[in-house]
Chains A and B, each alone.
Chain A
């Protein structure tokens, strides 16, 4: 298990926003939050609330209006540009497409804060670059042209570049956006491996489910500031409320599930043994507005063994179906006929 985590990154009454000439326009009240060493922290908040602005401000790409960002209790505004680049790495959704640029060249740019004025790669740097490529799961990709990579591979190459920068902290702005499902999990797995090896990652995402099921900590940005805690803490304190409109999204604060059905209209009893088949049957029934009842109902669903399918039992009448799709059709017919 993880040891007592040390707070490596602290956001202290940080005011983020924009400057127009001398005018300072804050987008949120002062923010306070922290991330522990080796933790995966997900930044959540509705669209446009300032997730990206917060991450850009932490990374120094955008100036803060007030407050401070501390790394190991040291104010980063005292950091030199190079020291900061050796401490914090940044990855965004920005797609880098440069023709004739090899994965190796891209990752080599991560050595920027360490190389001389020509950017010469020596043997040590070369080892670090190859090691970063390998860690990102891109062994054998060194000579591949980045514009010919898949989106997931390219994002991993960007992460490899940040790894070559050899920073303790990685700030990732929507690293999973624009990736297909396998790409998303590819990158997410890499992020979890990196935190397991001691890196601290703070990332923003639109994917609520990925965040609450994988992050060690959530920074939930609300209009009143950041609420932080384990994903489950925020469930218990009903804090995700600000992200969803329960009534219209069918969000269930009891277990964190979503359903877009009309409210559960009827109860149904499900007979059969536990397991994968039952789980999916329950899901299908719920999606169609049925609550699983503990008492026998008429009609009820009986799961048959093995490949046999399902039966819809109503008194003596038993109708079989080979797929959930057919079963649901049968059920709908029942519902339409007044009993």
Chain B
């Protein structure tokens, strides 16, 4: 190094905190948008309530019927939307990084299917002698634990497979095969179940944010909080895994331990949402891509909080749209998220040569 170089050459990169001003602006925007949408979700619905009454009922005054509607129905639903959006998006982000595949999400791994199998067994199988009431009432806990068991079982199976098979792509293909196999089993279960059970199951498969009891909402909130904490704790591992397990391992990462921690978080996040809300498609794949493109970074220290905000935002939008404001009809939220998510996924496929560039 000569002195001359120091005079003529400028310093290419000065030390700065990792958040750029434009990224700060995006985060602020997300928070503001989130608050507005959360409010809108309370104000808008198939029954029109004046904003003043909404605020009154939140402060504990006002008409009792309206208060019940807001506090027992709209508020839990909005909170559920936020939690489900966060959980699905974060699990998608983690899977895309761990599997180094832009198309990864809770579905391709078979995790949601595993949770779904648990749910199907409860709705279609065990409860066939009990009648539909048992499923919606006390059977909800059975439903949740079945979904977790299903998700966990698939996760353990995938862990076992990925320990044997070095190639992450092979793991992904096996995951997709597994998902197909599970849906075949579910089809057989459907074939043997009676009509009312089948209807209950089909309603569940449409996905719903509004059927949670306050007890279930608490469990969901605790699970999502645990999942978010695990994700936050995994940012360094996720960053290292971006460049592949060989490089990550050579930099000192315990790849197996990292996988277990990340997979645990992923299965808690996607499993509990699947149990309570049914399968909600495409949020898990689409949101992480939206966040990466907005923040223009690959750093999970920014991507994880970004995905939390964006996931909640997108899910609130989906929920508002599903209520078809101004009309009395309500669409299944799964259809709305699909219609939002699918164009994003197609855009990803068209914009990038998937095989040559990841994420």
Contact = CB atoms under 8 A, between A and B. Distances in A.
Interface of A: 59-61, 81-82, 84-86, 88-90, 92, 94, 96-101, 104-106, 109-110, 112-113, 115, 117-119, 121, 123, 126-127, 130, 133, 139-143, 147, 161, 165
A81 B254 contact: yes
Interface string B289-315: 000110111110100000000000000
Nearest to B249: A61
Contacts of B13: 104, 130, 133, 142-143
Contact of B235 (A109, A119, A141): A119
Nearest to A117: B236
B297 A109 contact: no
Contact of A61 (B15, B242, B250, B254): B250
Nearest to A142: B13
Given A81-B252, A94-B244, A106-B243, A118 B12 contact: no
Contacts of B240: 109, 112
A161 B266 CA distance: 29
Interface stretch (B47-55, B105-113, B351-359): B351-359
B63 to A, nearest CB: 49
A140 B13 CA distance: 8
A119 B301 contact: yes
B214 interface: no
Which 4 pairs from chain A and chain B are nearest by CB? A85-B252, A90-B250, A142-B13, A119-B236
Nearest to B255: A61
B12 A141 contact: yes
Contacts, number: 102
B12 A84 contact: no
B138 interface: no
Contacts of B347: none
B239 interface: yes
A96 B249 contact: no
A99 B298 contact: yes
B12 A92 contact: no
B246 interface: yes
Contacts of A104: 13
Nearest to B351: A99
Given A96-B242, A98-B358, A109-B240, 6 more contacts: A59-B250, A84-B252, A89-B250, A90-B250, A112-B253, A123-B15
Contacts of A112: 236, 240, 248, 251-253
7 contacts: A85-B252, A90-B250, A96-B243, A99-B292, A109-B240, A112-B248, A147-B357
Contact of A119 (B239, B254, B359): B239
Interface residues of B, number: 36
A94 B245 CA distance: 11
Task: Name which of B235, B250, B252, B301 has the most chain A CB atoms within 10 A of its CB.
Answer: B250
B239 A109 contact: yes
A143 B23 CA distance: 15
Interface of B is mostly: loop
A25 to B, nearest CB: 16
A113 B237 CA distance: 11
Contact of A109 (B243, B249, B296, B352): B243
B359 A98 contact: yes
A113 B301 contact: no
A186 to B, nearest CB: 19
B12 A105 contact: no
A38 B330 CA distance: 71
B298 A100 contact: yes
A53 to B, nearest CB: 13
Nearest to A165: B251
B21 interface: no
Interface string B135-179: 000000000000000000000000000000000000000000000
Nearest to A119: B236
A97 B357 contact: yes
A126 B239 CA distance: 17
B236 A115 contact: yes
A96 B298 contact: no
Given A100-B292, A117-B233, A119-B235, A92 B246 contact: yes
Contact of B247 (A81, A96, A99, A118): A96
A97 B254 contact: no
Contacts of A89: 250
A110 B357 CA distance: 22
Contacts of A127: 15
Contacts of B249: 60-61
A112 B240 CA distance: 8
B9 interface: yes
A147 B352 CA distance: 12
A142 to B, nearest CB: 4
A84 B298 CA distance: 26
A161 B15 CA distance: 17
A207 B293 CA distance: 40
Most buried by A among B233, B248, B357: B357
A142 B301 CA distance: 19
Nearest to B253: A112
Given A96-B243, A143-B13, A113 B358 contact: no
B2 interface: no
Contacts of A82: 252
Nearest to B236: A119
